[in-house]
């Protein structure tokens, strides 16, 4: 019989958003989603970043994008993984109006038990809008999830 | 075919507010500006630095590759101080697979207690429950060194004084505050026999080099700094299986580098070494062949230019210290102060080493 | 350019947990198997490139411990690039020899995901903590979102994807090292529970413990070691930018297509379907094989979904993929890329357990990160592809 030992990694981190990133999070408090526009390729990048990877230049032009947009993709997870959300939860990418890139996020506001129905509701191109937290803190979780826009 | 450094970019070494990838971007951009080339002219991106626990993100090169300019390009990461990435970049260029490569070292220590991170590198079977921190490991080795060779705390205090004096004149160094021998000896004991100023503090900072094969190198920069020798290796993981009075890995890596460069220690006009503690300063010099074992303390007033940068004792970023030292050596070559020099890096409890010999 | 070949390969059996060995002992096992295969001794190895994805094994920088398996005093380098680690480690060892600095170098990768109670939260730590980690994204969801788009755009069905799983599982039955040995049909795959829609349990890889080593040698040395080495013709890696939402079209793995084009151009491959005889692709999820086939030019866009069902990618088909059973049947994550290279090499040598007929050229692939990295290596029975 082989002996086994249990261990755990509990390592605290304090992640800096940086001066640049802080602007995005402050704006979330006002229910505003900000992106940056690359001065060379002109793409509006959300989430914002301090430099455009393609053009390799600083991005300092801040642009407000809508908190509404279209679904790029979705998946519903039904299994519980340690430390991850309780299932079922829907993860997806939403391209907000005004942005050229999509944003990884949670999708919700609907019954998630039948994934085929969820994939129909949130099919690529479906219109969604952000559901905001009542008390916002300047964290990405100020956006609870994106829900379908009723037609 | 020779391989040369044609561009160098170095950021401020301090506690950064910016995420590590934004600091890395600055280093890469500076290196490209220094070489006067665009990222499009670079065909390989070789990163050096730590992953997951080191920066709080697993697969950290996902963030640093674009920062280095690697968008849609060939990219790879060596998981260690960036001094260990230089050999891979060199070999890729030397093989003919790449003509211009960038080596980017990202050092980030401020987002988490590095001691807790390094603790997890201890195996869970024999060592982790002993809660052996890096400083404890350094201290045990210092204790052996001082006892074996009768090295006093006055001897080691002089190392701190000298490094700080040099750092005060180096715009890139982190810890620039001068200190006297008396102040060192009367400082708080951190882990016996090491006093607080005798152990390098952590900070953040990034360094990037543009490397090129000989013909292309001369077009980019008429005076490339040639990488003439490289060596890298590891000692045994178990401290109890090592001769703690000597740095085997540094000696072996240096042997490999000297052989490749067809050079001797006496030809080195300057050394930039990763003295994570005052004792390591002496031990590294001995392993590099500048003094007999136990006798490096006699070099303290010699002409040998050691750690003009202030060394690791004054600038130590988790992942890029070796690159910082290499850059400072390169600057000395560039400024015409020396024609040939050696840089050394080591990590963990001095288990490994990477050595580079640069020349004009 | 210096010709380099794979002259020895060693794999341990991939299992849920290798409780019988410690980390360095598992590394030692693979190294010895490779040495035996090449008829070499550890002292013949001049340099080692070692790879692993640290967090899964619960030991940070395990190479410090694993170096005790024959690496002490040798030039020893650790490579870590996410899921591509196995192959980038192989690439690094190859470059050690290609540079002329060494004549014999070994790549070795060890992974013990079995010691990690749950791998998904570890993968979740790869996702940006400031902008994205809260979304619960991990490896499975990242593949699932690709499937959603491919199905929407091309009408790919759950059954199409199930065929990929059937193929890989059938192949694994012939591989003594494979972790998962299940003789299943399409029905079993479709009836398995949904993990991350639309992907079901039998469409997802296992997590495996194991190690693998590959020995590279220069031309003169390779010839002395064996008369059937696998020559490395070309290698490349590519990196996309970080954010998952930046990918223009998740149904098109364009970064792999770009890397493939570069590889083919360098190697002199005119038509991958004709010029390449077998491919070991990194598809831990069924949809990814479909995307890889399309990106690498083995199928037109939107038609990759047909290949498994039509038998094209089965061992006796026109374009066999993953005769080893692939990642779907054994996934020692950081080592998996090197397993692909090992299997692709064995196919060239004619020594694979599920040997495809008449293999002259093989392709090995690995992807990593949250879809951004790819590494490719092309091998051949001849020193040059043509002529």
| The pLDDT of residue A151 | 59
| Average pLDDT over every residue of B339-347 | 97
Of B56, B67, B120, the CB nearest to A15: B56
Q: Taking CB atoms and an 8 Å limit, are C75 and B66 in contact across chains? A: no
Q: Is A27 on the interface with C (CB under 8 A)?
A: no
Q: Taking CB atoms and an 8 Å limit, are B77 and C23 in contact across chains? A: no
Q: Taking CB atoms and an 8 Å limit, are A50 and B69 in contact across chains? A: no
| Average pLDDT over every residue of B102-122 | 93
In the block, tokens 């940086």 appear at A18
Distance in angstroms (rounded) separating the CA atoms of residues C24 and A28? 48
Residues 6 or more apart in contact with residue B83 via CB below 8 angstroms = B48, B105, B274, B321, B322, B323, B325, B326, B343, B344, B345, B354, B356
Residues of C in contact with A21 (CB under 8 A): 130
| The pLDDT of residue C44 | 98
Q: Taking CB atoms and an 8 Å limit, are C240 and B71 in contact across chains? A: yes
Residues of A in contact with C137 (CB under 8 A): 91, 104
Q: Is B108 on the interface with A (CB under 8 A)?
A: no
Q: In this predicted structure, which of B103-117, C182-196, C268-282 has the lowest mean pLDDT?
A: B103-117
| The pLDDT of residue B342 | 98
Do residues B46 and B92 lie in contact, with contact meaning Cβ atoms separated by under 8 Å? yes
Token pair belonging to A65: 């994008």
Residues of A in contact with C287 (CB under 8 A): none
Question: Which SS3 state, helix, strand or coil, does residue B103 take?
Answer: strand
When scoring C26, C130, C158 by the number of chain A Cβ atoms within 10 A, the one with the most, hence best to mutate, is C130
What residue of B is the nearest CA neighbor of C99? Answer: B95
Share of chain C above pLDDT 90, in %: 89
Instruction: Enumerate neighbours of C (3 or more CB pairs within 8 A).
Output: A, B
Q: Is B42 on the interface with A (CB under 8 A)?
A: no
Closest CA to B29 of C256, A41, A59: A59
Residue C63 covered by a domain: yes
Query: What mean pLDDT value characterizes chain C?
Result: 95
| The pLDDT of residue A71 | 97
The pLDDT tens digits of the residues spanning C18-35 come to 889 999 999 999 999 999
Q: Is C112 on the interface with B (CB under 8 A)?
A: no
Query: Domain boundaries in chain A?
Result: 18-148
| The pLDDT of residue A83 | 81
Q: Taking CB atoms and an 8 Å limit, are B96 and C22 in contact across chains? A: no
Q: How far is CA A60 from CA A44, A53, C241, in A?
A: 11, 14, 18
Q: Is B33 on the interface with A (CB under 8 A)?
A: no
Q: Taking CB atoms and an 8 Å limit, are A84 and C117 in contact across chains? A: no
Distance in angstroms (rounded) separating the CA atoms of residues C328 and C285? 7
Q: Is B341 on the interface with A (CB under 8 A)?
A: no
Of A4, A73, A81, the CB nearest to C250: A73
Distance in angstroms (rounded) separating the CA atoms of residues B355 and B349? 17
Q: Quote the ipTM score.
A: 0.97
Q: Is A57 on the interface with C (CB under 8 A)?
A: no
| The pLDDT of residue C138 | 83
Q: What is the CATH number of the domain that holds C76?
A: 3.40.47.10
Torsion (CA) B281, B136, B17, C124 in degrees, nearest 10 = 130
| The pLDDT of residue B65 | 96
The pLDDT tens digits of the residues spanning B48-78 come to 999 888 888 889 899 999 999 999 999 999 9
| The pLDDT of residue C118 | 80
Q: Taking CB atoms and an 8 Å limit, are B256 and C75 in contact across chains? A: yes
Q: Taking CB atoms and an 8 Å limit, are A15 and C129 in contact across chains? A: yes
Token pair belonging to C158: 């759950």
Q: Taking CB atoms and an 8 Å limit, are C148 and A73 in contact across chains? A: yes
Query: Domain boundaries in chain B?
Result: 3-113+202-220
Q: Is A103 on the interface with C (CB under 8 A)?
A: yes
Q: Taking CB atoms and an 8 Å limit, are A91 and C136 in contact across chains? A: yes
Q: Is A74 on the interface with C (CB under 8 A)?
A: yes
The parent domain of residue C212 ranges over 4-117+207-225
Q: Taking CB atoms and an 8 Å limit, are B237 and C65 in contact across chains? A: yes
Instruction: Enumerate neighbours of B (3 or more CB pairs within 8 A).
Output: A, C
Q: Taking CB atoms and an 8 Å limit, are C126 and B62 in contact across chains? A: yes
DSSP state of C285: B
Q: How far is CA C315 from CA B71, C187, C279, C305, C329, in A?
A: 36, 21, 10, 17, 16
Residues 6 or more apart in contact with residue A37 via CB below 8 angstroms = A43, A44, A45, A59, A61, A62, A63
Residues of C in contact with A20 (CB under 8 A): none
CATH topology of domain B3-113+202-220: Peroxisomal Thiolase; Chain A, domain 1 (3.40.47)
DSSP state of B37: -
Q: Taking CB atoms and an 8 Å limit, are A140 and C131 in contact across chains? A: yes
Instruction: Enumerate neighbours of A (3 or more CB pairs within 8 A).
Output: B, C
Residues of A in contact with B125 (CB under 8 A): 5
When scoring B11, B23, B25, B128 by the number of chain A Cβ atoms within 10 A, the one with the most, hence best to mutate, is B25
Q: How far is CA B160 from CA B147, B280, B308, in A?
A: 20, 11, 13
Q: Taking CB atoms and an 8 Å limit, are A85 and C197 in contact across chains? A: no
Distance in angstroms (rounded) separating the CA atoms of residues B187 and B177? 14
Residues of C in contact with B56 (CB under 8 A): 125, 129
| The pLDDT of residue A44 | 97
Of B112, B116, B124, the CB nearest to A7: B124
Residues of A in contact with C196 (CB under 8 A): 75-79, 91
Q: Is B9 on the interface with A (CB under 8 A)?
A: no
pLDDT under 70 in chain A at which residues?
Answer: 151
Residue C55 has pLDDT above 90, yes or no: no
Do residues C207 and C200 lie in contact, with contact meaning Cβ atoms separated by under 8 Å? no
| Average pLDDT over every residue of B333-340 | 96
As for how many domains chain C has, the answer is 1
Strands C194-196 and A89-96: unpaired
H, E, C per residue of A77-136? ECCCCCCCCCCCEEEEEEEECCCCCCEEEEECCCCCCCHHHHHHHCCCCCEEEEEECCCC
Residue C386 has pLDDT above 80, yes or no: no
Contacts 24+ apart (CB under 8 A), B35-41: B35/B6, B35/B7, B35/B210, B35/B220, B35/B221, B36/B7, B36/B220, B37/B7, B37/B100, B37/B210, B37/B220, B38/A56, B39/A56, B39/B69, B39/B71, B41/B100
In the block, tokens 């040639």 appear at B226
The pLDDT tens digits of the residues spanning B129-165 come to 999 999 999 999 999 999 999 999 999 999 999 999 9
pLDDT band at residue C387 under the 50/70/90 scheme:
low
């Amino acid at each position: 019989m082989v002996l086994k030992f249990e261990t755990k990694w509990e390592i605290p981190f304090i992640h800096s958003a940086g001066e640049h990133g802080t602007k995005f999070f402050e704006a979330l408090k006002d229910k505003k989603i900000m992106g940056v526009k690359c001065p060379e390729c002109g793409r509006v990048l959300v989430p914002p970043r301090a430099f455009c990877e393609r053009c390799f230049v600083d991005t300092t032009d801040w642009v407000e994008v809508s908190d509404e947009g279209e679904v790029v993709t979705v998946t519903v997870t039904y299994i519980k993984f340690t430390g991850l959300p309780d299932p079922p939860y829907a993860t997806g990418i939403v391209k907000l109006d005004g942005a050229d890139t999509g944003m990884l996020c949670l999708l919700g506001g609907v019954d998630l038990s039948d994934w085929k129905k969820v994939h129909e509701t949130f099919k690529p191109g479906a219109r969604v809008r952000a559901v905001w937290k009542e008390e916002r803190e300047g964290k990405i979780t100020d956006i609870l999830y994106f829900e379908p826009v009723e037609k | 075919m020779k391989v040369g450094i044609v561009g160098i970019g170095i950021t401020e070494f301090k506690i950064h507010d910016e995420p590590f990838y934004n600091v890395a971007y600055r280093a890469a951009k500076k290196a490209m500006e220094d070489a006067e080339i665009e990222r499009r002219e670079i065909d390989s991106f070789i990163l050096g630095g730590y992953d997951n626990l080191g920066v709080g993100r697993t697969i950290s090169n996902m963030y640093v590759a674009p920062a280095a300019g690697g968008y849609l390009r060939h990219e790879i990461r060596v998981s260690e101080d960036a001094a260990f990435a230089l050999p891979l970049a060199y070999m890729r260029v030397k093989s003919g697979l790449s003509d211009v490569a960038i080596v980017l070292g990202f050092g980030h220590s401020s987002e988490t207690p590095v001691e807790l991170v390094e603790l997890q590198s201890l195996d869970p079977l024999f060592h982790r429950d002993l809660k052996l921190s890096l400083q404890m490991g350094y201290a045990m080795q210092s204790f052996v060194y001082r006892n074996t060779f009768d090295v006093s705390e006055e001897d080691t205090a002089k190392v701190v004084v000298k490094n700080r004096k040099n750092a005060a004149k180096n715009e890139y160094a982190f810890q620039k505050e001068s200190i006297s021998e008396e102040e060192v000896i009367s400082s708080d004991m951190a882990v016996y026999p090491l006093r607080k100023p005798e152990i390098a503090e952590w900070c953040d900072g990034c360094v990037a080099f543009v490397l090129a094969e000989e013909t292309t190198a001369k077009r980019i920069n008429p005076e490339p700094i040639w990488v003439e020798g490289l060596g890298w290796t590891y000692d045994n993981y178990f401290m109890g299986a090592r001769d703690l009075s000597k740095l085997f890995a540094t000696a072996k890596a240096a042997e490999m580098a000297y052989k490749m460069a067809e050079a001797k220690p006496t030809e080195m006009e300057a050394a930039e070494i990763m003295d994570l503690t005052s004792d390591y300063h002496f031990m590294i010099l001995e392993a590099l062949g500048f003094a007999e074992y136990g006798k490096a303390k006699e070099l303290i007033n010699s002409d040998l230019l050691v750690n003009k940068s202030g060394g690791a004792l004054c600038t130590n970023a988790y992942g890029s210290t070796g690159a910082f030292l290499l850059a400072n050596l390169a600057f000395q070559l560039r400024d015409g102060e020396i024609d040939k020099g050696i840089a050394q890096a080591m990590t963990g409890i001095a288990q490994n080493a990477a050595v580079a010999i640069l020349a004009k | 350019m210096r010709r380099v070949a794979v002259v020895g390969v060693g794999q341990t059996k991939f299992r849920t947990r290798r409780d019988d060995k410690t980390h360095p002992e598992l590394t030692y096992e693979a190294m010895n198997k490779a040495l035996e295969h090449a008829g070499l001794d550890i002292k013949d190895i001049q340099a080692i490139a070692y790879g692993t994805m640290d967090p899964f094994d619960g030991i940070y920088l395990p190479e410090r411990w694993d170096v005790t398996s024959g690496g002490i005093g040798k030039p020893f380098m650790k490579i870590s690039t996410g899921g591509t680690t196995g192959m980038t480690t192989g690439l690094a060892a190859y470059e050690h020899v290609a540079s002329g600095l060494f004549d014999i170098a070994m790549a070795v990768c060890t992974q013990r995901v079995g010691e990690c109670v749950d791998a998904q939260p570890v993968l979740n730590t790869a996702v940006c903590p400031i902008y994205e980690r809260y979304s619960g994204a991990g490896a499975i969801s990242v593949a699932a979102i690709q499937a959603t788009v491919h199905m929407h755009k091309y009408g790919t069905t759950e059954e199409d994807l199930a065929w990929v799983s059937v193929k890989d599982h059938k192949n694994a039955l012939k591989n003594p090292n494979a972790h998962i040995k299940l003789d299943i049909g399409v029905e079993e795959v479709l009836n398995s529970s949904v993990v991350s829609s639309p992907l079901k349990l039998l469409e997802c890889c296992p997590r495996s413990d194991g190690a693998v080593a590959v020995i590279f040698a220069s031309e003169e040395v390779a010839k002395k070691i064996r008369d059937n080495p696998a020559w490395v013709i070309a290698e490349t890696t590519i990196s996309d930018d970080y954010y998952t939402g930046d990918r223009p079209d998740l149904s098109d793995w364009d970064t792999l297509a770009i890397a493939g084009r570069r590889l083919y151009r360098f190697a002199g491959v005119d038509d991958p379907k004709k010029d390449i005889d077998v491919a070991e692709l990194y598809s831990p999820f069924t949809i990814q094989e479909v995307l890889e086939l399309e990106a690498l030019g083995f199928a037109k866009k939107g038609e990759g979904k047909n290949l498994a069902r039509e038998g094209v990618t089965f061992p006796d088909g026109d374009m066999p993929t993953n005769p080893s059973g692939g990642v779907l049947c054994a996934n020692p994550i950081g080592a998996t890329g090197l397993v692909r290279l090992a299997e692709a090499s064995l196919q060239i040598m004619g020594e694979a357990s599920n040997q495809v007929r008449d293999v002259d050229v093989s392709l090995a692939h690995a992807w990593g990160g949250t879809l951004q990295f790819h590494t490719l290596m092309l091998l051949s029975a001849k020193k040059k592809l043509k002529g």
